[in-house]
């Protein structure tokens, strides 16, 4: 079979490379491994100067640089990143080529395919086997027989010796054409492998891809086959296709608010159905999740009291069916919201298409990838039609020669010749009267072919049948030229034929939500999930305390603020059980913006201070102080009271026994700021509401706080 060196992607315009501005990869050589295992450069490259840590050059530094660049180039181009032209990574391409070489329409042992692929792939059999299973489970290219695992449950596939595979009809018809394929030597030089497959399908977007290479990674989400074909038709017609969104085999519902033409992120949710009055059934999984991993995640959420579910039953077989029985008192809406908020029933997937285009890394959008695939489709059709025209022309010439040779008994001329040269000349002279019936001159190769005709064929030659065959060739030539002239119409007819054939086989599985997912108010959802209690006798607080006095309802997302009598305070999540002793003055939900008024007596001179403050940002479980050590907190109230009433302890020669202060005169500052001095007298009583012990008849001066 003829092999042309023309690559299959000449018509696609070259996109900007990720490394256009990076000299690091400008000198990376493309290399193959010779039979002795040594790398051989296939093109001349310049070497990036290397410098030692001290500014000079050294052989070790140069060696490290060269080896690293070769490793980086190899990882990117030969392992981790797929190509835009045929959508495959090298191991996938080698697998497809190997199956095609062995293809006879029947199933082949996967172990045999693995062994055959190892002629081209210089890595272990396990990676090849895993790649075959992965491609088979994606349905488009390989048809499997046997246990290939379960994409829903996560069950692994059987060993390669127990399972079989073969090409799908789609792959067999649309992926291979050795006449349009360029080949290079395999890693050991013993075989020829394709550089790229002449794929007519937008495989990169159909299959999706993930990969991590040196300095970059790629995530390309799979899209619906039929939608891609319809978009290609619009591109050929010069129209803008509608937006394309991912489509996952596991189904689910996606929110594409933050997804822009293949770049960004999507939120994907499981499909949850409501049954009876106390059951929810998960019937579709988010991408990347299995029933086992999702159930484990839900069980963890149940242990943390996030999800009101008391029983989980997994009935998954060919379809996903995870039945959740709700806890007593829980509503279906509440449980569904909790599943989305606290489990993997809702996940976020990021997308960044990085790929190889003309063997260089590039970052593209879905539209750009599809335009390149469409341009390649037209180019392949053009080359196929041109190749077929050449074949038909050769066939017409050979059929016409054969007819003239037999019908006009030119073969009789060779009976009298004594030398081979004379035989050739006799045949050439015999065709001279019939030159007008031929499209080109008869050459010695034509004569050689005619001389190979067997006597049996001459005796049974059917002139009418041969003329019908020539008429058929002429008719096909006319059709081929018409298709070549109207190439776009030919491609659109081809795409419409594929759509009609496969639209029922590959329907959209993932639903695109027209509106963004409704934001779940997690704090509101969990506002009363926990009850904080206090054991006053032993000095403990917590959500797991049996008995005790109930303080308030809270969420596991809340933070608890505690302030002690000596002025130290701490912020923490609701504890299961925590010792606070009996000197804790304040214990409520933490609000960083809430203002407080505090009055404390410092230990050195016994002066009393007042301060207004907000706690602001705190690190949880870290201990802070709002007053100096060994101080005594006399009052701590939320907000700013209208007045503070103070009763002083009796003292010799004391004229003022009580005073009223106005806290609003104090400026609100940070929690660590020093307070304003209220008094140097000892205080016996203090309150913010006018008390019964207050003597209205006593003319006390107004307290000063400035």
* Residues making up the chain, counted from first to last: 706
* CA atoms of 48 and 65, how far apart (whole Å): 9
Evaluate whether 181 touches 130 at the Cβ level (below 8 Å).
no
Q: Which residue's structure tokens are 């054969």?
A: 402
- CA nearest neighbour of 577 among 546, 549, 550, 608: 546
568 burial level (CB within 10 Å; 0-12, 13-18, 19+): middle
And the tokens for 382? 């053009």
Evaluate whether 646 touches 685 at the Cβ level (below 8 Å).
yes
Evaluate whether 654 touches 589 at the Cβ level (below 8 Å).
no
Q: Are strands 623-625 and 568-572 parallel, antiparallel or unpaired?
A: antiparallel
Q: How many Cα neighbours within 13 Å face the side chain of 472?
A: 8
And the tokens for 204? 């990169």
And the tokens for 65? 């640089």
Cα–Cα distance list, 430 to 436, 462, 464, 672 (Å): 13, 21, 22, 115
Q: Identify the helix (H) or strand (E) that includes residue 689.
A: none
* CA atoms of 628 and 166, how far apart (whole Å): 80
Angle between helix 125-137 and helix 90-102 axes, rounded to 10 deg: 80
And the tokens for 391? 């074949």
* Residue 42 CB contacts under 8 Å (≥ 6 apart), including other chains: 29, 30, 31, 32
- What's phi and psi for 435, nearest 5 deg? -60, -35
Give the CA angle between residues 456, 462, 465 to the nearest 5°. 135
And the tokens for 492? 């659109």
- CA nearest neighbour of 703 among 677, 685, 684: 677
Evaluate whether 673 touches 612 at the Cβ level (below 8 Å).
no
Q: How many Cα neighbours within 13 Å face the side chain of 211?
A: 28
* CA atoms of 77 and 424, how far apart (whole Å): 54
And the tokens for 326? 């709700």
Residues classed as catalytic: 162
Q: Are strands 309-314 and 183-185 parallel, antiparallel or unpaired?
A: unpaired
Task: Tell whether the torsion through CA atoms of 151, 153, 158 and 162 is positive or negative.
Answer: negative
677 in helix, strand or coil? strand
Q: Which residue's structure tokens are 């996109």?
A: 15
* CA atoms of 105 and 166, how far apart (whole Å): 7
* CA atoms of 705 and 699, how far apart (whole Å): 19
Ramachandran category for residue 428: left, alpha or beta (phi over 0 → left; psi -120 to 50 → alpha): alpha
Evaluate whether 330 touches 308 at the Cβ level (below 8 Å).
yes
* Residue 637 CB contacts under 8 Å (≥ 6 apart), including other chains: 596, 597, 598, 688
Q: Most distant CA pair in the chain: distance in Å?
A: 159
* CA atoms of 526 and 45, how far apart (whole Å): 63
In this structure, the number of other CB atoms found within 10 A of the CB of residue 565 comes to 17
């Amino acid at each position: 079979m003829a092999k042309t060196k023309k690559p299959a992607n000449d018509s696609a315009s070259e996109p900007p490379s990720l490394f256009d501005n990076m000299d690091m990869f400008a000198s990376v050589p493309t290399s193959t491994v010779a039979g002795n295992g040594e790398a051989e450069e296939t093109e001349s490259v310049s070497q990036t100067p290397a410098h030692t840590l001290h500014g000079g050059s050294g052989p070790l530094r140069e060696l490290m640089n060269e080896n690293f660049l070769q490793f980086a180039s190899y990882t990117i181009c030969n392992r981790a990143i797929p190509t835009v032209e045929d959508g495959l990574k090298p191991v996938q391409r080698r697998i497809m080529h190997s199956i095609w070489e062995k293809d006879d329409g029947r199933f082949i042992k996967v172990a045999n395919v693995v062994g055959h692929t190892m002629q081209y792939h210089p890595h272990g059999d396990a990676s090849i086997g895993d790649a075959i299973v992965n491609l088979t489970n994606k349905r488009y290219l390989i048809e499997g027989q046997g246990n290939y695992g379960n994409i829903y449950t996560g069950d692994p596939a059987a060993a390669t010796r127990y399972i079989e595979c073969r090409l799908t009809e789609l792959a067999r018809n649309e992926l291979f054409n050795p006449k349009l394929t360029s080949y290079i030597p395999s890693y050991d030089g013993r075989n020829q492998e394709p550089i790229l497959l002449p794929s007519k399908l937008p495989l990169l977007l159909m299959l999706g891809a993930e990969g991590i290479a040196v300095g970059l990674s790629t995530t390309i989400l799979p899209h619906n086959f039929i939608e891609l074909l319809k978009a290609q038709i619009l591109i050929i017609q010069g129209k803008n296709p509608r937006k394309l969104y991912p489509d996952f085999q596991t189904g689910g519902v996606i929110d594409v608010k933050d997804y822009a033409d293949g770049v960004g992120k999507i939120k994907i949710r499981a499909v949850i159905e409501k049954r009876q009055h106390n059951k929810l059934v998960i019937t579709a999984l988010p991408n990347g999740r299995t029933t086992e991993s999702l159930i484990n995640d839900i069980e963890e959420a149940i242990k943390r009291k996030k999800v009101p579910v008391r029983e989980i039953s997994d009935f998954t077989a060919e379809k996903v069916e995870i039945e959740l029985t709700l806890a007593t008192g829980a509503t279906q809406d509440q449980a569904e919201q909790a599943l989305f908020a606290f489990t993997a029933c809702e996940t976020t997937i990021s997308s960044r298409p990085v790929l190889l285009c003309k063997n260089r890394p590039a970052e593209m959008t879905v539209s750009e990838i599809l335009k390149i695939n469409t341009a390649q489709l037209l180019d392949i059709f053009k080359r196929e039609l041109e190749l077929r025209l050449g074949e038909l022309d050769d066939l017409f010439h050979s059929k016409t020669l054969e007819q003239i040779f037999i019908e006009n008994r030119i073969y009789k001329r060779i009976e009298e010749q004594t030398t081979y040269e004379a035989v050739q000349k006799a045949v050439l002279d015999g065709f001279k009267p019939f030159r007008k019936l031929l499209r080109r001159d008869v050459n010695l190769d034509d004569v050689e072919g005619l001389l190979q005709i067997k006597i049996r064929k001459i005796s049974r030659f059917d002139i009418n049948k041969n003329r019908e065959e020539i008429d058929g060739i002429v008719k096909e030539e006319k059709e081929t030229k018409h298709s070549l002239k109207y190439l776009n119409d030919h491609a659109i007819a081809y795409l419409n034929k594929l759509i009609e054939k496969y639209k029922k086989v590959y329907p959209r599985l993932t639903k695109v939500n027209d509106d963004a997912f409704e934001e779940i108010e997690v704090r509101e959802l969990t506002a009363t999930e926990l009850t904080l209690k206090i054991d006053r006798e032993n000095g403990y607080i917590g959500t797991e305390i049996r008995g005790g006095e109930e303080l308030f309802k809270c969420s596991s997302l809340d933070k608890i603020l505690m302030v002690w009598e000596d002025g130290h305070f701490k912020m923490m999540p609701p504890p299961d059980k925590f010792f606070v002793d009996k000197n804790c003055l304040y214990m409520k939900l933490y609000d960083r913006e809430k203002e407080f008024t505090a009055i404390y007596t410092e230990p050195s001179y016994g002066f009393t201070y007042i301060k207004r403050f907000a706690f602001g940002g705190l690190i949880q479980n870290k201990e802070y102080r709002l007053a100096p050590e060994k101080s005594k907190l006399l009052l701590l109230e939320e907000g700013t009271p209208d007045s503070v009433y103070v009763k002083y302890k009796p003292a010799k020669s004391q004229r003022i026994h009580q005073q009223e202060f106005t806290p609003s005169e104090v400026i609100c500052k940070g929690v660590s700021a020093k307070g304003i001095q209220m008094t140097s007298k000892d205080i016996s009583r203090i309150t913010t509401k006018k008390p019964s012990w207050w003597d209205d008849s006593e003319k006390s001066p107004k307290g000063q706080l400035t």
